[in-house]
Structure formats: C-alpha cells, structure tokens
Amino acid sequence: MEYARSRSNFVQTNCVLGSAVASQEWLPEHLKFAVEAASVALWCWNVDTDQLAMDDSGYALWGLPRADQVCFEDLSLHIHPADRDRVRAAFQATQSVTGMYETDFRIMLGDKIRWVASRGRGAEEGLKQRSKFGVFIDVTQRKQNEEANELLAGEMSHRVLNLLTIATALTNMTGKSAESVADMTNQLVHRLTALGRVHSMVRPLPGGEGKAALLGDLISVLLSPYDDGGAFAGRIKISVPRMGVGEASATTMAIVVHELATNSLKHGALSRPSGTLDISSTAGDDMIEIVWAETGGPALSGAPDHRGFGSRILRNAVEQQLRGKLDLDWQGSGLVARLHVSRQQLVN
C-alpha cells in the first residue's frame, strides 16, 4: 500500500519531468545533437520516492530495457560490488552537501566493466518538485588511460630503482678491482653505457614474443661499437633465433655480453683487426644454447691464471640471475663460451 502511494506521488509530481528527460523534448534540436555527441545521459531523481527517469542514452549506458522509471536499487544491481556501498553513500550525501558533485564508479554489463561518472548539484540547489537532475557520462576510456599511465609510471619507477641498484653494485665492485681512478672510471663508464644501450631497447613486443627486446637486436646493439669502421667492419657475425628477451633478463644479458666483449677487446679476438667473433645458437623445446666463438686473436695456451672482477660478475649474472650455466673453453684459436639457459627464464 505504501509503495502504491509512493508510486502514485512520483507519477503525479514527476510524470512531466520524467517524460521530458526521457524524450529530451525540452531541449532545442541543436542541443540534442551536442548531448548525443558528448555521450551524456540525462537523469531525474526524486529524493522522496527514490525513483529515477533517464533518457534513452541512460538506459543504453546501463544496459537496461527502456522503462518509464527505475529506482536506485535497479541501477545498484549493476554497480560493481566493490563500489556499491560507496555510491549509495555518495548519493545519499548529495541531499545535504551543497554545490557541484561528481562520483565515479564501475558498472558491470555481463563480463564487461564500464566506468560511469555521475554529476549534479547537491542539497536544495536545482531541486524542482522534489527532484534532482544530473547526467551520467561514460568515462571508461579516461579511466583506462589513467590506469595505463599509472602502470607506466610504476613500471618506470621500478626500472629506475633496478638500474640504480645495479649501478651501485657495479660502482662498489669496480672500485675494489680497479688499479687506478682512471681504470675504474673507464670500466664503470663502459659498463653503465652497456646497460644504458640495452635499457633503451626495453619495450613490449608484438605477438607475445616478450617484453623487452629481440635477442638478436639486443646482442647487435651491445656489440655495435666494436664493429664499425675500417678493417674492423663485418668481423662480428650474429645468427640467433627470433625470440623475445624479458626486461630482467635483458639487463643481465647486457652484463654478460659486455663482460665477454671487454675480455675479448683486451685479450681476445677483438683486440686485433684480423680477429672475428661468431655468435650462434641452437634451441630445443625448453633450453637454448648461445655460443660465443672467437678466432684470429692472440694464441692461447689455456685458461688465464688470474680471474678478475669481470669473471666473477659474469658467473654471477649467468648462474644466479639467469639461473643458467656458462662453459668457458679457452682453445688455442680463441675463447669459446657456451651459455645454457631456459627459454622461459630468458623471456622473464
């Protein structure tokens, strides 16, 4: 009985308002076009009966069949459970809070989620025949852009912190092994430059191939300073399968390639114009082997007696960070290094 009286009161006091909102009859023709272009849905809410009237855009936005009026609870069923209580409280608060208000919340349409902004005036402002007026706006794209920006900012912060951690560790370890300030500066600059080059390549790859860089591109960029100009041109050959390298592994691969290249530049094939470097790989279902083969450098009589900082950081990078295995074969014609690592680890 009480519901019938409430319904009757709503019809008597809001039938004109509700029908006007629903049909947009009160809008001049050019304003109708503006409202439609802005994807704005109009609503009228009776504060006494909790009944709403919406235009066609409103019903389409909420995924509801056309009706003369709906109550707030009808809409509430479509509000995301995590937002529902907050939205209810916000709408009730509009009865006492003056001025403009805006409430953003999520609604669920099947397995899809939309973001909706509700805007209007609170308290007695704009109240006519016990009804408030406002708009619903689909702000899904804006929210998605905001979430993408937040994700990007978080990812960039994570990368910067990782690089600072690595830079700090490199500085400490280089300081312990360097013979002079000039030697430390030279080693550190080259190592940080290698990290900088690979960091500039970190990006999402199409087709689900990884999230940083292609393996071949990564190695090529890191070794490009040793393969340009004069008699040195073309002495580095790279033949690896097309596969993505993840962000964490890309940084580690930068260290591995840089340390091998530094050793080669000092003592191996890259120390002589006639020296060549061949990087190839073989891949199984789960494991991949990357082979670093040097020829044409100084003749070797075996493994070096002294293992310096470069050797330690190389082992640490492969075994602890890549969880792989590194075999160093000091042949007479040059070093042959074999890196064994799982495909899954490499794309992480």
Predicted confidence (pLDDT) per residue in 32-86, tens digit: 676 676 778 888 888 778 788 888 888 888 888 887 668 878 888 889 999 998 8
Q: How many domains does the chain have?
A: 2
Same-domain status, 217 and 134: no
| C-beta of residue 281 within 8 angstroms of C-beta of residue 218 | no
Same-domain status, 123 and 181: no
Same-domain status, 97 and 242: no
Instruction: Give the residue ranges of DSSP H helices in 200-342.
Output: 215-223, 247-267, 309-316
Residue that finishes a domain, picked among 117, 138, 159: 138
Q: Is 67 helix (H, G, I), strand (E, B) or coil?
A: coil
Predicted confidence (pLDDT) per residue in 239-250, tens digit: 998 888 887 788
Q: Give the residues across from 291 on adjacent strands.
A: 280, 338
Predicted confidence (pLDDT) per residue in 180-198, tens digit: 888 888 877 877 776 676 6
Q: Give the residues across from 104 on adjacent strands.
A: 117
Same-domain status, 181 and 261: yes
Name the token pair of 277. Answer: 């470097």
Same-domain status, 35 and 101: yes
Residue that finishes a domain, picked among 91, 118, 138: 138
- Domain membership of residue 107 as a residue range: 2-138
CATH number at residue 304: 3.30.565.10
Same-domain status, 93 and 185: no
Predicted confidence (pLDDT) per residue in 284-316, tens digit: 778 899 999 999 988 887 777 656 656 777 887
- Binning the chain into helix, strand and coil, the percentages to the nearest 5 are 50, 25, 25
| C-beta of residue 98 within 8 angstroms of C-beta of residue 123 | yes
Same-domain status, 179 and 232: yes
Same-domain status, 99 and 118: yes
Which backbone phi and psi does 229 adopt, to 5 degrees?
95, 140
Same-domain status, 134 and 167: no
> The pTM is what?
0.47
